[in-house]
Structure 1
């Protein structure tokens, strides 16, 4: 399984609304995309998530569900 770092930059003023949806619906990952750990810096409105998958395209399916709240960056970890 390949590991990835996902960097989430919350759009201005939308961090709280993002967490309302998260609390109601969860992370909404497609099958085959796995969360390992995360770290949030509320001062900078940014979240780092360590994740893994055998299919990188699943990240883009997941990103679509949250794009109204977050700008994503995806980094494969070797």
Structure 2
């Protein structure tokens, strides 16, 4: 399953976030897959697409970063799958 992870950064700690990432990597447990990410121009948010079949893997990962960022996690459905589900009700 895909998840949009929105990380909210304290802009004063951006350098700490990137330092940890460069020193230790993404810190994602096995089974949690990074797909892609985008950073807002003001460094306030990171939008990541992550994939996993077990939501507790996301929770483990969040705990690795919770001292530096606040997380919002949104389960995603593809537009194609959503259109197919809606079509059944038209």
With normalisation by structure 2, the TM-score equals: 0.81
Match of 2:44 in 1: 45
Q: Structure 1 regions of 5+ residues with no counterpart? A: none
Structure having the higher strand fraction is 1
Structure 1 residues 21-40: aligned runs within 5 Å: 21-40=20-39
Q: How many residue pairs were aligned?
A: 77
Structure having the higher helix fraction is 2
Higher RCO structure, 1 or 2 (CA under 8 Å, sep 6+): 1
Once the two structures are superposed, what CA deviation does each residue of 1:38-57 show, in whole Å capped at 9, x if it has no partner?
A: 00014151000011000011
Match of 2:10 in 1: 11
Deviation at 1:15? 1.0
Q: Structure 2 regions of 5+ residues with no counterpart? A: 78-90
| Whole-angstrom CA distance in 2 between matches of 1:25 and 1:44 | 20
